[in-house]
Structure 1
Amino acid sequence: MASVTLKHLTKTYPNGFVSVNDVSLHIEDGEFVVFHGPSGCGKSTILRMIGGLEDITSGEIWLGKDLLNDILPRDRRLAMAFQNYTLYRHFNAYDNMALGLRLRDLPRTVIDSRVKSAADFFGISNILNKKIRALSETDKQRVALGRAVVCQPKVLLVDEDFARQDDARRMEMLGDILKINEEMHITVLYVTNDYQEAVSLNKKVIFMKDGKITDIR
C-alpha cells in the first residue's frame, strides 16, 4: 500500500517558528494530491519531512503500515523532484538515470531494462547518450523524473519549483507527473502556491495557511 498518513505532524525551528502545526491527514493509495497555500505556509516543509530531508519535531508519518520517522531517506520507498535536479553534468542521461540503481547493486540487465523503459515512457530514448550539459531544460526535467521512477517508488513528491522556468515547461512537467500517477499508479504529492493551477488539475487540494490545513476540496 502506498497510502500516506500524517498524525499530528509538527515542525518547529530552533528560533521558535512553527512551520507545520499539528497536521493530520490521510492520502489514499494512488491519489494525486495538491498542497496549496502562500509561501511559508508549511506545504513544502511537509514534503521535506515525508522525504526525510527535514527532522520531525513531533507526530508521525506513515507509508502504508510503515512508520517513516526513523527510516533513512534512502530507505524510504519515495522519490523526490525538487528545485535542484542534482543531475551530474559530466554524466550522460543514461548514467544519471541509472545511478541510483547502481548504488543499490542491481544487476546490469535490470538497470538497463528499467532505464530504457523509463526513457521510452518520457519520450527521451534518443538523448540517453547525450551529456546533461547538452540537454534542454525540458529534457533535464524528464531525465530527473526518469531517475525518480526507475527506483519504482510508491510515492512521488514534487515541489513547485521543480518547474521553475516558463509556463509552457511547467505545463509539460504537470503532464508528465499526471501520466506517472495515472499510468504507473504512483501516489503523487504536489506543492504549488498558484491557486489556478491547484484547482485546474481537478485533483484533491489541501489548502494551508500558517502551518495548518484550512480546507480540503
Structure 2
Amino acid sequence: MASLTFEHLTKTYPNGFISVNDVSLHIDDGEFVIFHGPSGCGKSTILRMIGGLEDITSGSIYLGTDLLNDILPRDRRLAMAFQNYTLYRHFNAYDNMALGLRLRDLPRTVIDSRVKEAAAFLGISEILDRKIRALSEADKQRVALGRAIVCHPKVLLVDEDFARQNDDRRSEMLRDILAINKKYGTTTLYVTNNYEEAVSLKKKIVFMKEGKITDIG
C-alpha cells in the first residue's frame, strides 16, 4: 500500500515560526494530489517532511501502515523531484539513471532493462550516452524523472520549482508526471502556488494557508 496519512502534523522552526500547523490528511494509494497555496503556507515543507529532508516537530506520517518519522530518507521508497536535480555532470544520462539501482546491487540485466524502459517512456532513449553537461534543461529534467521511476518508488514528490519557472518546460513536466501516475500507479504529490494550473489538472486539490488546510476540492 502506498497511501499516505498525516496525523496532527506540525513543523515549528527554532525562531518560533509555525510552518505546518496540526495538519491531518489521508491520500489514497495511487492518487494524484495537488497542494496549493501562497508562498510560505507550508505546502513544500510537508513534502520535505515526507521525504525526510525536514524534521517533524510533532505528529505522524504513515506510508501505508509504516510510520515514516524515524525511517531514514534512503529507506522510505520515495522519489523527490525538487529544483536541484543533483545529476552528476561527469556521468552520462544512462549512468545517472542507473546509479541508484547499482547502489542497491541489482543485477546488470535488471538495471539495463529498467533504465531503457524509463528512457523510452520519457522519450530520451537517444540521449542516454550523452554527458549531463551537454544536455538541455528539459532533457536534464527528464533524466531526473527517469532516475526516480527506475527505482519503482511508492510515492513521487514534485515541488513546483522543479520546472525552473519556464512555462513550456513546466507544461512538459506536468504531462510527464501525470503520465507516470497513470502508467505506474505511483502516488503523486505536486506543489504549486498557481491556481489556474492547479484546477486545470482536474485532480484533488488541498488548499493551504498559514500552515493549515483550508479546503479540499
Q: TM-score, normalised by structure 2?
A: 0.99
Q: Secondary structure at the match of 2:40?
A: coil
Query: How many Å separate the matches in 2 of 1:106 and 1:166?
Result: 36
CA–CA separation in structure 2 for the residues paired with 1:18 and 1:49: 14
Q: Do structure 1's residue 108 and structure 2's residue 117 form an aligned pair?
A: no
**Letter of the aligned partner of 1:111 in structure 2?**
I
- What's 2:168 paired with? 168
SS in 2 for 1:45: helix
Runs of 4+ in 1 over 6 A off after TM superposition: none
- Distance in 2, Cα, partners of 1:189 & 1:138: 21
1:38-77 to 2 correspondences below 5 Å: 38-77=38-77
Distance in 1 (CA, whole Å) between partners of 2:94 and 2:17 is 42
Name the counterpart of 1:188.
188
Report the Cα distance in structure 2 between the residues aligned to 1:166 and 1:205, rounded to whole angstroms.
23
The CA deviation string for residues 19-49 of structure 1, in whole angstroms up to 9 with x for no partner, is 0000000000010000000000000000000
Q: Which amino acid aligns with 1:76?
A: R
Deviation of 1:165 after TM superposition, in Å, equals: 3.7
Distance in structure 2 (CA, Å) of the matches to 1:182 and 1:170: 18
- Paired residue secondary structure (2:178): helix
Deviation at 1:101, TM superposition (A): 0.7
Distance 1:119 1:51 in 2: 24
Give unpaired runs (5+ residues) of structure 1.
none
How far apart are the structure 1 equivalents of 2:121 and 2:76?
24
Instruction: Report the residue type matching 2:16 in the other structure.
Output: G
Q: Secondary structure at the match of 1:112?
A: helix
SS at match of 1:145: helix
Amino acid at match of 2:45: T
> Shift of the alpha carbon at 1:166?
1.7
Q: CA RMSD in A?
A: 0.5
Amino acid aligned to 1:204: K
Q: Deviations over 1:148-196 (max 9, x none)?
A: 0000001000000000142111000000000000111101000001010
Deviation at 1:77, TM superposition (A): 1.1
Residues 183-217 of structure 1, C-alpha deviations (whole Å, 9 max, x = no match): 11101000001010011100000000000000000
For residues 101 and 13 of structure 2, what CA distance do their matches in structure 1 show? 34
Give the structure 2 partner of residue 90 of structure 1: 90
- Structure 2 residue runs of 5 or longer lacking an equivalent are none
Normalising by structure 1, what TM-score?
0.99
CA distance in 1, matches of 2:186, 2:7: 22
**Superposition deviation, residue 141 in structure 1:** 0.4
Q: Percent identity?
A: 83
Task: Tell me what 1:80 maps to.
Answer: 80
What is the rounded CA distance, in whole Å, between the counterparts of 1:89 and 1:151 in structure 2?
20
What is aligned with 1:18? 18
Structure 1 SS opposite 2:110 = helix
User: For residues 117-128 of structure 1, what are the structure 2 equivalents within 5 Å?
Assistant: 117-128=117-128
Measure, in 1, the Cα distance between the counterparts of 2:13 and 2:111.
40
Counterpart Cα distance in 2 of 1:26 and 1:47: 14
For residues 203 and 130 of structure 1, the distance between their equivalents in structure 2, rounded to whole angstroms, comes to 36
Counterpart-to-counterpart distance in 1, 2:31 and 2:18: 28
Aligned length: 217
Tell me what 2:33 maps to.
33
